[in-house]
Amino acid sequence: MSSLGVTLPAAARSILSSCRSSIREATIVPAFPAFRQVRGMGSNPQAKGKGKKAAAKTSRRGPQEFRQKSLKDMEQFALCDAMRYIRALEVGRNPTSVKYEAHIRLRTRKDGPVIRNMIRFPHAVQTESRICVICPPDSKQAKDALAAGAVLVGEEEVFEAVKAGIIEFDRCLAHPDSVPALNKAGLGRILGPRGLMPSAKAGTVVEDVASRVEDLRGGTVYRERDAVIRLPIGQLGFSPEQLRDNLRTTIEQIKKDASGLNDRINKEIYEVVLSSSNGPGFSLNGEFKTDASPETSALTGV
Amino acid sequence: MVNLFKRMRKLKTMLDIRVGTGAAILPSVANASKEFPAVTRLHLTYAQKIYGADNRAGPPPALTIYFADRIGSTATAIAGAKKITDKHAPAPANGEKMATVNIKDLTYQEIWNRVQASTGAEEIPVSEEDKAEAQKFEDMNTKAVKDRERIQAKRQAKKDQERMLAEARGEVEKLQAA
């Protein structure tokens, strides 16, 4: 009854409650039909109270989706124009460390799954990252991981090093066989805050460690936070064509991620913003260049 | 999520890059003349920190202009007035000629005048719309200062009131305890 009381309109509710009361009065209180009837008619106070509470609850929780305003008034740029401004704004910074960043804003619910994945760009953005693999030493996986370029492989010696405070890697993977040992070692307290603790959710507990290592070495990990995915997509020296390729790959993969999540979850890209390490964000309009933009060769190099 | 208006305003400050002082078109290979050859790159050496009015700590500030194949007479005259060499500037590549301008104790307008004279750069004309927009942001900034003061005063008054109340309550409690 309570759920019905919330969802049904008042008229239907009064009909329903009058039906019920008439049944009841037949069985329990046959002597006071009129009294019962009156109480039923003047809408159920209990249900009314419930309805109010539910309404208050939704308003307190706020909207279910992240509010994304209309971009009608937002000035948007072609890729080349945005790059031109960013390059001008990054003058005087260390050109090797400055990166182009993409902020992909999504239209999505506040709850529900988020996109997290990794991507391999056609043009590598990051310099090599050091990877640690936790798997039984002397196993086949250990050999493969070393061959794929992991810097630290093993179980006990890795735990010892981490406990001693020596963390000389940027990524950490684990083989499922080693997970019990890993949990027993109690490294979550040390690795967790650094985001290095392997977990199946983050995709860092995998059977095929070696291929993952290869992926990671050229890949960038990204995740959705508050309806935005932020990731570096290029070095400052990249040509507009290189950046376009990277951006296109990113957007395609994110679309794929979004469609692969769940049938009922609807995520769509709402705005793509190009930014840089120190620059402001430029909303992109999806075009490559305009008539006023300079030659692509002028936007290349540092 | 950042407010769209805030984002727009931050973006619009780059108007200065587009039409401010020094926004100019340098001669390129296509429209180079004998007097003003094409400019390939610029290099600026400056101290990262300024200690006091005269900057003795860092290297002497210098702006090096790289020309494609030759140096015009104006550039030579300006650069040659006080010969300096900038050891931080990269060596000229094949065929490049460089002229170093001593920019010590010059304002940015003076520096720009020199650069413009020696390269023959054409300043970008400021359109009416850009002027109006610059004016709008100028007005916004002046209004922001006023508003900030007003809000600051309001908040301070509220804080003072609360502090006084708290003090009064404390005294009452003291009296009761005594």
Residue A280 has pLDDT above 60, yes or no: yes
pLDDT at A34: 43
**A188 interfaces chain B, CB cutoff of 8 Å:** no
| Residues in chain B whose Cβ is within 8 Å of chain A | 1, 4, 7-8, 10-11, 14, 17
Q: What is the pLDDT of residues A77-125, one digit of tens each?
A: 888 888 888 888 888 787 778 888 899 888 888 887 888 887 878 777 7
Interface contact flag, B7 A280, Cβ < 8 Å? yes
Interface membership of A73 toward B (CB under 8 Å): yes
Percentage of residues of chain A with pLDDT beyond 90: 0
pLDDT of residue B1: 56
- Which carries the bigger pLDDT value, residue A46 or residue B5? B5
Q: Tens of pLDDT along A62-81?
A: 777 777 777 777 788 888 88
Please answer yes or no on whether B11 and A75 come within 8 Å at the CB atom: yes
Q: CA A29 → CA A13, A37, A42, distances in Å?
A: 22, 11, 19
Is the pLDDT reported for residue A55 higher than 90? no
Domains present along chain A, CATH in parentheses? 2-61 (no CATH), 64-108+227-302 (3.30.190.20)
- Mean pLDDT for the stretch of residues B92-103: 76
- Whether A282 sits inside 8 A of B7 (CB atoms) is no
DSSP state for residue B115 in the 8-state scheme: H
| B112 and B103 Cβ atoms separated by less than 8 Å | no
What pLDDT sits at residue A218? 65
Most confident of A129-143, A283-297, B76-90: A283-297
Chain A contacts of B7, Cβ < 8 Å? 74, 280-281
Question: Could you tell me the CA-to-CA distances from B97 to A2, B39, B86, B161 in Å, in that order?
Answer: 86, 10, 14, 69
Cβ within 8 Å, pair A66-B1: yes
Mean pLDDT score of chain A: 72
- Got the DSSP string for A220-282? EEEEEETTEEEEEEEETT--HHHHHHHHHHHHHHHHHHHHHH-SS---EEEEEEEEESSSPPE
% chain A with pLDDT above 70:
60
Q: Which of A72, A75, A103 to mutate to test the interface with B (most CBs of B within 10 A)?
A: A75
Question: pLDDT tens digits for A9-40?
Answer: 554 554 444 444 444 444 444 444 444 444 44
Among A67, A71, A280, select the one facing B10 at the smallest CB separation.
A280
Do the Cβ atoms of A246 and A301 come closer than 8 Å?
no
Least confident of A136-150, A272-286, B25-39: A136-150
Q: Is A263 on the interface with B (CB under 8 A)?
A: no
Locate the chain A residue with the closest alpha carbon to B10.
A280
pLDDT of residue A30: 45
Mean pLDDT, residues A157-185: 71
More confident residue, A253 or B55: A253
CA Rg, chain B, in Å? 27
pLDDT at site A127: 59
Residues 204-233 of A with CB under 8 A from B: 226-228
Over its C-alpha atoms, chain A yields an Rg (Å, rounded) of: 29
- Best B5, B7, B12, B108 residue to mutate vs chain A (most A CBs within 10 Å): B7
Query: Is residue B164 pLDDT above 90, yes or no?
Result: yes
- Provide the ipTM: 0.71
**Residue whose entry in the numeric block shows the structure tokens 């890949």:** A219
Q: Could you tell me the CA-to-CA distances from A269 to A106, A116, A256, A280, B97 in Å, in that order? A: 5, 15, 11, 20, 50
For chain B, give every domain's residue range.
1-20+126-178, 24-123
Distance from CA of B77 to the nearest CA of A (A): 28
Task: Judge whether A282 is closer than 8 Å to chain B, CB to CB.
Answer: yes
- Cβ neighbors of B51 (< 8 A, separation 6 or more) are B57
Q: Closest partner residue to A69 among B4, B10, B11, by Cβ?
A: B4
Q: Convert the pLDDT of each residue in A181-230 to its tens digit.
A: 777 766 677 777 766 777 766 667 767 766 676 666 667 778 888 888 89
- Which residues on chain A are in Cβ contact (under 8 Å) with B11? 75, 280-282
Considering only CB atoms, A85 lies closest to which of B4, B10, B14, namely B14
pLDDT attached to residue A214: 67
Summarised one tens digit per residue, pLDDT across range B111-141 is 888 888 888 888 888 888 888 888 888 898 8
Closest by alpha carbon to A294, among A236, A239, A232, A233? A239
Nearest Cα neighbor of A175 from A151, A149, A147, A211 is A211
DSSP, res A91: T
Whole-number pLDDT of residue A33: 42
How far apart (Å, rounded) are the C-alpha atoms in residues A253 and A221?
12
- The per-residue pLDDT for B152 is 97
Q: A280–B11: do the CB atoms touch at under 8 Å?
A: yes
For the purposes of burial, counting CB atoms within 10 Å of the CB of A119, is it exposed (0-12), middle (13-18) or buried (19 or more)?
buried
Cβ neighbours of B1 in A, within 8 Å? 66-68, 105, 226-228
Query: For residue A282, which of A249, A239, A247 has the smallest C-alpha distance?
Result: A247
Quote the pTM value.
0.62
Share of chain B above pLDDT 70, in %: 81
> Taking CB atoms and an 8 Å cutoff, what residues of chain B touch A77?
none
Dump pLDDT digits (tens) for B6-22: 777 777 776 677 777 77
Residues in B touching A88 (Cβ below 8 Å): 14, 17
The size of the A-B interface in CB pairs under 8 A is 29
Q: Which of A1-10, A97-106, A270-279, B165-174 has the highest mean pLDDT?
A: B165-174
- The shortest C-alpha distance from A229 to chain B (Å) reads 12
Task: Inform me whether the C-beta atom of residue A281 falls under 8 Å from chain B C-beta atoms.
Answer: yes
The whole-number pLDDT of residue B169 equals 92
